[in-house]
């Protein structure tokens, strides 16, 4: 998962804000009278007063239901440059929220708490989607260190402009499902509307992030286990084919425009302005596009990640974990908070309806954006029915994503040093899109040499 996605998409769901520090578990969080105080991330900033008030209301409801627990919230969010130091220095919160690139490293460094017993005592544990548990498990021991909650979770898909599809003579209800079809659609959009048919992100680790999904869709992978360590695996044909397609769309079809050095927010901004036909992301990207960049919600749709033999897509989202410094009492309280705040509205219809009703008080909130299912179809249907009166997102526009992505295997982010993998591949994607004579194979070999050293050090 890309870092910007944490900062923007999660904020759009009223979960997080700017960075702050607070002391955590083991430093006076518990007491002899059975009461415990925990600190949690996620308080929206003062610039989002409605979301901030909603969060505080939820804290009050939680404390009423759990009178021995006090929750102190900060507006902290994960930051690649400062988070490790916060954890090491004992300044991180009890309950932390991190992108799915991070759990395996945190587990290996013993920086997060084993929550196996607390989670297995949760009645719905055995019903929870195992794909959402997997990124938070220690593969060797099977112990569970956190939850990937449905809120904000996604599988990589194709976000597209339905209005531009119609102008280009394409069916807005049938987005491309293969990479060849995507290439044809991108060219049609460019040729018939003058807009960018397909935009790719290439900076701030987003180039490598997208290239990972594109590799998965072709049956490849980014890392493989060799003995007791992981080694780069992105020099194979699937990744080369992904890069060759980007090169051909850029220099043969001219369907990607001239600006190729852009991050996720750059693409969101251009897409919101109607200048881009398609790009890769989860459907929750429409939240910042509408809320921050003025996009027209009714123009947008989402489809499955295009495929070429892989039948797979990338799982993304946030992991909710507990600081290793927490006491057992704090850990138990932290799990109760995680389940109450981030999971209960996805299996209990009454909680789902209450959450949606609260969100609907602010017309800027988008209700009904698809997320990865946390529970069975039967549970999902009951929850969807409870939310239905408050849904303001056109569900038909996201039908291709919901129906087709559900058929694909959910692949995790690279298990070791994922952000470094993405960073090493950014220059590769940039070169392929800016230099007509770029050699994808040579560029990948060079990146693999760099990552071999990183993975050896991270073992």
Mean pLDDT of 424-451: 97
Where in the chain are all domains bearing CATH 3.40.190.10?
Answer: 3-153+316-405, 157-281+417-458
Least confident of 73-87, 122-136, 354-368: 73-87
What confidence score (pLDDT) does residue 49 get? 84
Cβ neighbours of residue 351 closer than 8 Å, sequence gap 6 or more: 344, 345
CA 29 to chain centre: 31
Supply the pLDDT for residue 4: 47
- What percentage of the chain has pLDDT greater than the value 70? 93
φ, ψ for residue 372, nearest 5 deg: -70, 130
pLDDT of residue 26: 40
Residue 352 is encoded by which pair of tokens? 């789902």
User: What does the pLDDT read at residue 80?
Assistant: 74
3-state secondary structure the chain: CCHHHHHHHHHHCCCCCCCCCCCCCCCCCECCCCCEEEEECCCCCCCCHHHHHHHHHHHHHHHHHCCCEEEEECCCCCCCCCHHHHHHCCCCCCEEEEECCCHHHHHHCCCECCCHHHHHCCCCHHHCCHHHHHHHECCCCCCECEEECCCCCEECEEEEEHHHHHHCCCCCCCCCCEHHHHHHHHHHHHHHHCCEEECCCCCCCHHHHHHHHHHHCCCCCCEEEECCEEEECCCCHHHHHHHHHHHHHHHCCCCCCCCCCCCHHHHHHHHHCCCEEEEEECHHHHHHHHHCCCCCHHHEEEEECCECCCCEEEEECEEEEEECCCCHHHHHHHHHHHHHHHHHHHCCHHHHHHHHHHHHCCCCCCCCCCCCCCCCHHHHHHHHHHHHHHCCCCHHHHHHHHHHHCCCEEECCCCCCHHHHHHHHHHHHHHHHHCCCCCHHHHHHHHHHHHHHHHHHHC
Confidence of residue 459 (pLDDT cuts 50, 70, 90): low
The predicted-structure confidence for 271-285, as pLDDT tens digits, reads as follows 999 999 999 999 999
- The model's confidence at residue 79, banded by pLDDT at 50, 70 and 90, is confident
Average pLDDT over residues 122-146: 94
Identify the pLDDT of residue 139. 86
| CATH architecture of the domain with range 3-153+316-405 | 3-Layer(aba) Sandwich (3.40)
Global confidence as pTM = 0.88
With CA atoms as reference, report the closest residue to 327 among 7, 32, 13, 4: 32
- Residues 138-168 pLDDT 10s: 988 999 999 999 988 999 999 999 999 999 9
Strand partners, 313: 410
Tell me, what's the pLDDT at 179?
A: 98
**Above 90 in pLDDT, residue 430?**
yes
15 has a pLDDT exceeding 60: no
CA distance 19 to 319: 17
Residue 344 has pLDDT above 90, yes or no: yes
Q: What is the pLDDT of residues 167-189, one digit of tens each?
A: 999 999 999 999 999 999 999 99
What does the angle CA 378 – CA 382 – CA 384 come to, to the nearest 5 degrees? 110
How much is the pLDDT for 12? 40
Q: What would the CATH number be for the domain defined by 157-281+417-458?
A: 3.40.190.10
């Amino acid at each position: 998962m890309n870092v910007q996605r944490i900062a923007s998409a999660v904020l759009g769901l009223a979960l997080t804000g700017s960075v702050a520090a607070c002391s955590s578990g083991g430093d006076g969080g518990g007491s002899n009278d059975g009461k415990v105080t925990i600190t949690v991330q996620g308080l929206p900033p003062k610039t989002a007063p409605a979301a901030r008030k909603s969060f505080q209301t939820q804290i009050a409801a939680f404390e009423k239901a759990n009178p021995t627990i006090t929750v102190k919230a900060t507006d902290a969010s994960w930051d690649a440059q400062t988070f490790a130091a916060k954890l090491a220095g004992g300044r991180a919160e009890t309950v932390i929220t991190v992108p799915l690139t991070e759990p395996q490293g945190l587990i290996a460094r013993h920086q997060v708490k084993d929550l196996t017993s607390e989670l297995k005592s949760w009645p719905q544990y055995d019903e929870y989607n195992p794909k959402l548990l997997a990124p938070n498990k220690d593969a060797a021991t099977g112990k569970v260190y956190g939850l990937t909650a449905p809120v904000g979770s996604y599988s990589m898909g194709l976000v597209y402009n339905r209005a531009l599809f119609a102008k280009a003579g394409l069916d807005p209800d049938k987005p491309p499902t293969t990479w060849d079809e995507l290439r044809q659609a991108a060219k049609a959009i460019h040729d018939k509307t003058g807009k960018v048919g397909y935009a790719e992100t290439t900076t701030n680790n987003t180039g490598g992030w997208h290239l990972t999904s594109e590799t998965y869709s072709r049956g490849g992978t980014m890392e493989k286990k060799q003995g007791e360590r992981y080694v780069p695996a992105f020099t194979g044909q699937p990744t080369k084919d992904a890069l060759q397609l980007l090169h051909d769309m850029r220099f043969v079809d001219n369907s990607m425009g001239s600006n190729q050095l852009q991050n996720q927010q750059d693409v969101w901004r251009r897409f919101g302005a109607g200048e881009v036909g398609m790009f890769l992301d989860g459907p929750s990207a429409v939240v910042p596009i509408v809320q921050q960049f003025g996009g027209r919600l009714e123009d947008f749709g989402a489809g499955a990640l295009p495929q070429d033999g892989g039948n797979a897509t990338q799982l993304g989202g946030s992991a909710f974990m507990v600081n290793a410094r927490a006491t057992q009492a704090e850990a138990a309280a932290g799990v109760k908070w995680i389940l109450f705040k981030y999971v209960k509205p996805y299996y209990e219809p009454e909680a789902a309806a209450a959450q949606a009703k609260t969100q609907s008080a602010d017309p800027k909130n988008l209700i009904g954006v698809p997320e990865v299912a946390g529970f069975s179809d039967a549970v999902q249907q009951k929850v969807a029915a409870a939310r239905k009166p408050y849904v303001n997102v056109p569900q038909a526009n996201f039908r291709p994503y919901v129906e087709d992505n559900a058929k694909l295997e959910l692949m995790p982010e690279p298990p070791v040093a994922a952000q470094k993998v993405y960073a090493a591949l950014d220059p590769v994607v940039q070169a392929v899109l800016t230099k007509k004579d770029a050699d994808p194979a040579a560029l990948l070999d060079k990146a693999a040499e760099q990552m071999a050293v990183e993975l050896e050090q991270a073992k």
